[in-house]
Amino acid sequence: MVADEYAYIGRDNIIRRVLLIDGNALSVAQKAAITKVTVKIGTHCLDTTVSEDPIEYSDGTVEIQVGLIPTIKKGMYTAEVTAFDATMPNGKAWGSFTVYVDHWESCE
């Protein structure tokens, strides 16, 4: 299986995913209406309303730093994105993608 994205344990690499509806960007109103985004990666659940989580949502884009999840291990994961707003209090299943997490050696 080929991964859609790659992340490295302990590294600051950012995965950016733009939320789309039927292949189109969200309207300004739709972007502003989203109150929370969660991404489940394996057993890890990242939440944009939890300040310690390495995830942010802004202007229709979700940014995730998978390598900074404290207990993430090397391997292939499915990342499932859910978005919430006043009309979707139980969340809308927005889609999924695969992430391969690996070690990255460097001279530090």
The Cα 19–Cα 48 span in angstroms is 14
Question: Is 49 inside a domain boundary?
Answer: yes
Percent of all residues in the chain with a pLDDT value above 90, rounded to a whole number: 91
- Residue 21: inside a domain, yes or no? yes
Residue 30 lies in a domain: yes
- Residue 33 above 60 pLDDT? yes
**pTM assigned to the model:** 0.90
At residue 31, the 3 state secondary structure works out as helix
Per-residue pLDDT tens over the stretch 38-81 = 999 999 999 999 999 999 999 999 999 999 999 999 999 999 99
Span 24-39, mean pLDDT?
95
3-state secondary structure of 42: coil
Residue 67 lies in a domain: yes
**Assigned domain for 107 exists:** no
Whether the pLDDT of residue 11 is over 90: the answer is yes
CB 48 within 8 A of CB 4: no
**Number of domains making up the chain:** 1
Q: What CATH number does residue 81 fall under? A: 2.60.40
- Is 108 domain-assigned? no
Which residues form the domain of 59?
5-102
Mean pLDDT of 93-100: 94
CA distance 89 to 77: 26
Return the higher-pLDDT residue of 105 and 74: 74
